[in-house]
Structure 1
Amino acid sequence: MEKAMNLEKPDRVPVMCQMSIGHMLLQTGFSPIELWCSAQVFSEALLQLRGAYIFDGILISLHGHSPDWETNIKRIEKTENELIVHWRNGDKTEFPKDDLPRNYPRSTGPTPSIAELDPSMIRDEIEYIPVSQGLDFAINAEYKFDIFQIIHEKTGSEFSIHGEVTSPFDYFLNLFGFKQALMYLLQDPSKCKKILQRFADGVKKLALEMTDQKIDAIKISSPFAGQGFISPEFYREYVLPFESQIAQSVRDRNIHVYTHTCGSIGDRLEMMVESGISGLECLDPPPLGNVELANAKNRVGHMVFIKGNIDPVNTLLYGNKETVRDDAEYCLRVGKPNGGYILSTACSIAPHTKKENVEILAEVAEEKGYY
């Protein structure tokens, strides 16, 4: 893995995919509450599936689990398809057996107005991960990186360990809501940049702390920075400067850093590389996105490593062993030459993807991936 990320030729093309929470639940059978709330259970699920799929690395996407989470539960309600936790603070969280939780706070304050918000009041300590719209994962500062220690105790340096932080742009969208946030970019660009800078300071601090956890790489999750959401001009103005600060600070620690952006990014590949990252993940192919692997390899493959391009929906979820094998072999033919390629799904493995389809990836890498 290290050689691939260094744009060198390893003995074999490495294989590593991010897994959705739903897929982890369905394949391990763990309680959806425990998988989300417990560092021990989440780490065990990561390790089990890494072994089952023979991945060469593990992505730790959630961290900062609170060890006393169970004491905050008032009662648990069971239905046919989910568990519903009623928390002592009045919040309610629905935990499906095949998807992310859905959280319903007891009360929500008004969405802040940019006119009233003082950017200096945004703390430079990141306290949560904006996992999905309306779903945050609280980071317990006292136990911020416990899960990394758990993983290391069980694996040592046998596999590549990757951490994850979230783009400042995501925190900005999360603060105001998507629609209003985009309006503010037009109405008050100067103040938007001040807010983005505060979030960038916090994410950079978190990323630098993460580099002390014996990791090999950090992924910058930036799902809403593609051309289906913002223009190249807005990307250069509101995403690139702030992700660049994070990427360059991590690279200064001799740790790899790569960006994950969903959907169509064909119009901004070179711009993304300008941030100083060492790799690009996702590169959704048509119809999910517009990136052809051969085109991306030709344009930026000599500057950054490429991780992805297998369609997680039409190939892995809806396909069969033959279609998965065909797609994986194609990606190896295109991505393998000259090194710098990691065989992976573009985005996360979808919840109901068959285990047998995922297993094909390591098989193909073993058969066709050696240099």
Structure 2
Amino acid sequence: MTPKERVKAAMDLKTTDKIPLMCQFSLGHILMQLNISPVNLWFDKVTFTDSLIKLREIYEFDGILVSLHGHNPNWKEHIVSITDIRNQKQVELASGDKIIFPNNDLPYYEYKNEVAKLNISEVDLEDLPQILDYIPVSSNLHFQINQNHKFDAITDIINSVGSKFSIHGEITSPFDYFLDLLGYQDGLMALMMEPEKCELILWHFTKLITKLSLEMCETGVDAIKISSPFAGAGFISPNDYKKFVLPFESQIALAVRQKGVHIYTHTCGAIGDRLETMFDSGISGIECLDPPPLGNVMLENAKERIGKMGFIKGNIDSVNTLLNGSDDDIVRDVQDIINIGTRDGGFILSTACSIAPAVKREKIQLLRKIVDNI
């Protein structure tokens, strides 16, 4: 099997010749491994795509997740200055806003003038975005989607290595866009105060995300990941999940599956109380399944409960095992994960979440050695 065929077989719940291996790169890990400009990694499509391709080669992964798309080829025109401040890059934009770029993590955004989040009572549905032109990456941090170059990063990687390796795109869940609009605390409060209006906002974003997802399918991606990090037990109950997450992600999943493309959900933290519910959306698989102490999922329990519903992608602890563990710890933990995960197929070996920034290269390379020795 080629790596592409191997990952597809796992997503199809079929037998593979060997265990598929594919982890998500955090931007911090890319920066620490490749020693490149954080400004270029964020803004420049070629720097970003070349970095993904190079690290995949270094780690011998079977696929690549393209987590950002829509790079503006004229990004430099919007920058007034780039300054070095305490081992960080400070970018001043034409708007007067600033973006601070560490060398080991996501950038963070500073507004020239304070921007207050809307209260749920202040939201006018007619004023919501009519075009999805941003990705809510983190608090106050948007990645702008250039409408004329919406999927260039994805198509470039597919054209370069997509015939051999599995290439996955990424979209962000409606629940994330909702929380980004109102702010995390106020957004969660709004679910209790004005649930009907919250649902209308969620449906609005769902329509936009569904359209984006269907367009992404046309690029030839092998799968699409729904980034839904705030839908775990640390934020909402199972009942609220069924009301404010499941219906909306279900519409997206159904649309993508009708195109013959696999789609899987990435939810961080504690999801042990909603594993079956997540599959009720019609997704092909689940990524993360964070083990304790980061989450509460025991892989053996998860495999018994959902192993026949779809594929599992996980669940190596990137912090306690890869970052802080010894080589012996890694071998022991990963072998246990493989022994459990590969029962009856439908398993892709991966870090639970993305690779933590400071994980050493040799520890990730050890994963390939473990897989090849089995």
| Pick aligned residue for 1:295 from 285, 295, 301 | 301
Q: 1:121-171, CA deviations, whole angstroms, 9 ceiling, x for partnerless residues?
A: 323421111111121111111111011121123214110000000010001
2:263 equivalent to 1:257: yes
How far is 1:301 from its partner?
0.6
How far is 1:80 from its partner?
3.6
SS in 2 for 1:63: coil
2:132 equivalent to 1:122: no
Aligned residue number for residue 137 of structure 1: 143
Q: Taking structure 1 as the reference length, what is the TM-score of the superposition?
A: 0.97
Paired with 1:110 and 1:322, the residues of 2 have a C-alpha distance of 49
Paired with 1:326 and 1:132, the residues of 2 have a C-alpha distance of 34
Moved over 6 A (4+): none
Contact 2:119 2:186 in 1 (8 A): no
SS in 2 for 1:343: strand
| Pick aligned residue for 2:47 from 17, 41, 50 | 41
2:342 equivalent to 1:336: yes
Aligned residue number for residue 241 of structure 2: 235
| Pick aligned residue for 1:32 from 30, 38, 52 | 38
| Pick aligned residue for 1:168 from 142, 154, 174 | 174
Q: 1:284-322, CA deviations, whole angstroms, 9 ceiling, x for partnerless residues?
A: 001111101111011001111000011110001111221
Paired with 2:345 and 2:130, the residues of 1 have a C-alpha distance of 38
Paired with 1:185 and 1:289, the residues of 2 have a C-alpha distance of 24
Paired with 1:155 and 1:171, the residues of 2 have a C-alpha distance of 31
How far is 1:223 from its partner?
0.3
Aligned residue number for residue 83 of structure 1: 89
Q: What is the letter of the counterpart of residue 152 of structure 2?
A: D
Q: What is the letter of the counterpart of residue 329 of structure 1?
A: Q
Contact 1:125 1:205 in 2 (8 A): no
Paired with 1:156 and 1:270, the residues of 2 have a C-alpha distance of 32
Q: Within 5 A, what are the aligned runs for 1:1-371?
A: 1-368=7-374
Paired with 1:31 and 1:180, the residues of 2 have a C-alpha distance of 35
Q: What are the ranges of 5 or more consecutive residues in structure 1 without an aligned counterpart?
A: none
How far is 1:102 from its partner?
1.0
Q: Which deviates more from structure 2 when the two are superposed, residues 71-80 or residues 46-55?
A: 71-80
Q: What is the letter of the counterpart of residue 250 of structure 1?
A: V
Q: What is the letter of the counterpart of residue 83 of structure 2?
A: E
Paired with 1:243 and 1:108, the residues of 2 have a C-alpha distance of 32
Paired with 1:178 and 1:309, the residues of 2 have a C-alpha distance of 26
Paired with 1:163 and 1:260, the residues of 2 have a C-alpha distance of 12
Paired with 2:114 and 2:311, the residues of 1 have a C-alpha distance of 42
Q: What is the letter of the counterpart of residue 193 of structure 1?
A: E
Paired with 2:115 and 2:323, the residues of 1 have a C-alpha distance of 39
Q: Taking structure 2 as the reference length, what is the TM-score of the superposition?
A: 0.97
Paired with 1:211 and 1:27, the residues of 2 have a C-alpha distance of 31
SS in 2 for 1:147: helix
Paired with 1:367 and 1:20, the residues of 2 have a C-alpha distance of 27
Paired with 2:121 and 2:162, the residues of 1 have a C-alpha distance of 50
Paired with 1:117 and 1:51, the residues of 2 have a C-alpha distance of 46
Contact 2:202 2:248 in 1 (8 A): yes
Contact 1:64 1:147 in 2 (8 A): yes
Paired with 2:94 and 2:234, the residues of 1 have a C-alpha distance of 40
Q: What is the letter of the counterpart of residue 365 of structure 1?
A: V
Q: What is the letter of the counterpart of residue 266 of structure 1?
A: G
How far is 1:88 from its partner?
1.7
Paired with 2:56 and 2:273, the residues of 1 have a C-alpha distance of 33
How far is 1:116 from its partner?
2.8
Paired with 2:89 and 2:347, the residues of 1 have a C-alpha distance of 40
* Percent identical residues: 51
Paired with 1:290 and 1:114, the residues of 2 have a C-alpha distance of 32
Contact 1:53 1:362 in 2 (8 A): yes
Paired with 1:124 and 1:92, the residues of 2 have a C-alpha distance of 26
Paired with 1:211 and 1:44, the residues of 2 have a C-alpha distance of 22
Contact 2:158 2:221 in 1 (8 A): no
The two structures, once aligned, show a CA RMSD in angstroms of 1.0
How far is 1:239 from its partner?
0.4
Matched residues, number? 368
